[in-house]
Each structure stands twice: as C-alpha cells, then as structure tokens.
A and B are shown apart, each in its own frame.
Chain A
Amino acid sequence: MPAPDPGPEPDPEPDRDPFPGLPVDPDVTREADVGPPRIHGAVVGVVALGGALGSTARWAVAEALPHASGRLPWATLLTNVVGCALIGVLMVLVVERWPGRRLVRPFLGTGILGGFTTFSTYVVDTRTLVATGHAAVATAYLLGTLVAGLLAVVVGLRLTERLVRRPTGRTAP
C-alpha cells in the first residue's frame, strides 16, 4: 500500500507537549459535543453498547479473579491499568489513523474502556480495606493503581505513537 512519506521529522523538544494533536478530554470534544446543545442519538447509542460490553468484560475479570477480604483487589487493579494502556493506544490511533470516523472514539473510548475501567469500585474497595483494618493494603492499592495506571497511559501513548509515526520506506533494505 503506498503511503505518503511525511519525511524525516525532528525529534520533539523535551519540554514541549509530545502529542500536540491529542485533546485533554477523550470523551467530549468542543467541536462535536459542546456548543449548540444537541445530543447525537448515534453517539449515545454506541456509547451505551460499548458500556454494556466493557462492563461485562470487567465483571468477567472480577468473577475470574476474586479477592479475599483484606487482600489486594487484583481484578480491579488489572482492569484499570489495562484500560489506561488501551486508552493511550486508542487516542493516538483515533487522531493519527481514524480522524474522520465519528463513532470510533465514543464506542471504543467512552463506551468500552469507560465501561471496562471503574473509579467507583477503586475508591469503595479502598474505603472497605481501611474500614476493616487493612490500611497498609489500602494505601498500596490506592497508590499502586494510580502510579501503574498513569504509567500505562504514557506507555500506551508512546509505543503507539512510535509505531504509527514510523516512516514506511525508511526500514526497507
């Protein structure tokens, strides 16, 4: 497949935003969602479908990896960290590869990944651990999920950016 060669790109300066094309909010964009009050029926539909599928996947992981009282909730930790890596991958692909597809981001990002990951179970499980006398596990869980999740976003963004930005002709022998 012939691909337009963007030419050699200078390395981004370390103090500059490495992803200037990526929005801060992955779910709501000013052009599409904010402005004149309008609700996109198709967008809400794919968000609902994605949310149902993502929630079911999260529930399946929780059923497969139950945790005993007072122990680290591994299933939720795993779900949230994997979801963070995947949203990094997704946002680069949405901006770099699928800029015109209006329903991809709501379906995969807002719906599936939003349904797959959870903030409520994360904090409620933390509260339960503290309330049952497991403050050390609670702290490790709270901070461990946070650090691993943020790192996962960065890894997802960087790896995908490197893969999709690689000039196709340069590596040919």
Chain B
Amino acid sequence: MTLLLVLLGGAVGASARYLTDVTVQRRHGTDVPWGTWTVNVLGSFVLGVVAESGPHWVLILVGTGFCGALTTFSTFGYETVRLREQGRSGLAAANVAGSLAVGLLAAVLGWWLGTAL
C-alpha cells in the first residue's frame, strides 16, 4: 500500500514538475532557472504543511511521493554548476542563496500553516 502511494505521488509530482518548468521557462528568455526555483519553493511549502500535521498516508502520498518528485536537488545542483562554468558565478551564487533562503522560508511558512490548521 505504501509503495503504491509513493509510485502514484511520484508519477504525479514528476509530471507536475515538468509541466511547471515548461510553463515558467516559456515566460522568460533567460537561462535563470526560474522553473526549478518555482517547483522547489512550492514543494518545500507543501511538504512543510504535511510533514508534521497530516495522517501518515498523506505524508507518504503528498510528502514522500508528490513533493519529493516535484522538487529536485539534482537539477538544482546541475544548473548551478553549469552557470558557474559559463562564467556566471554571480548568477550561480544567487541561485543557491535564493533557492535555500526562499525554500527554507517556504518550509517554515508551510509548517506554521500546517500546525495552525
């Protein structure tokens, strides 16, 4: 049962990431990884909501499955390294700082909302 919830959440989360990434990247003409930033912040917020306040099956389906697949560390790391290698170190540093700071803030806000509900 747990395996099915992870599979389902992971399939939906990964599709949502791809579609969100395409939608966001279509709206600007730069190499700034706004698409990845958006899914990582969104997923951090949602996981913050369900991490400590929901029933176990919701944590597995929405947290482990959906949020885990919606967000990505590999793409975040790869994009940061590629920006740095292209000589855009400032943008690479801003990507790291902006993703971590806003991601953490989103996790705190999500936790706060989850415990308030």
Residues on A with C-beta less than 8 A from B25 are: 25, 28, 33-34
Chain A binding surface SS class: helix
Chain B contacts of A33 at CB under 8 A? 22, 25
Number of residue pairs A-B, CB distance < 8 angstroms: 222
A55 touches B22 (CB 8 A): no
Alpha-carbon gap, A27 to B12, bound state (A) = 16
User: Using Cβ atoms and an 8 Å threshold, which residues of chain B touch A88?
Assistant: 78, 81
Chain B: number of interface residues, binned into ranges: 35 or more
Question: Which of B14, B79, B104 is within 8 Å of A54, CB to CB?
Answer: B14
Q: Are A54 and B69 in contact (CB under 8 A)?
A: yes
Q: What distance in Å separates the Cβ of B59 from its nearest Cβ neighbour in chain A?
A: 11
Docked Cα-Cα span, A139 to B26, in Å, equals 35
Asked whether, in the complex, the Cβ of B13 is within 8 Å of the Cβ of A115, the reply is: yes
A25 near B33: Cβ-Cβ < 8 Å: yes
Per-residue contact bits, chain B 59-92, to A (CB 8 Å; 1 contact, 0 not):
0000111011111111111111111011100000
- Asked if residues A51 and B69 are in contact (CB atoms below 8 Å), the reply is yes
Q: Could you tell me if A120 and B43 are in contact, using CB atoms closer than 8 angstroms? A: yes
Which A residues between 61 and 108 are near B, CB-CB below 8 angstroms? 62, 80, 83-84, 86-88, 91, 106
**Closest chain A residue, CB of each to CB of B30:** A24
A86: chain B residues within 8 A (beta carbon): 74
If A25-B79, A33-B25 touch, whether A56 touches B6 (CB-CB below 8 Å) is yes
> Which residues of A does B touch, CB under 8 Å?
15, 17-19, 22-28, 33-35, 37, 39, 43-44, 47-56, 58-59, 62, 80, 83-84, 86-88, 91, 106, 109-111, 113-124, 126-128, 131, 142, 145-146, 149-150, 152-154, 157
Provide a sorted-by-A list of 11 A–B residue pairs whose CB atoms are within 8 angstroms.
A22-B82, A52-B69, A84-B73, A115-B10, A118-B67, A120-B43, A122-B73, A128-B51, A131-B111, A152-B77, A153-B80
Given contacts A25-B35, A52-B8, A127-B104, 4 further A-B contacts (CB under 8 A): A51-B13, A55-B69, A114-B69, A115-B69
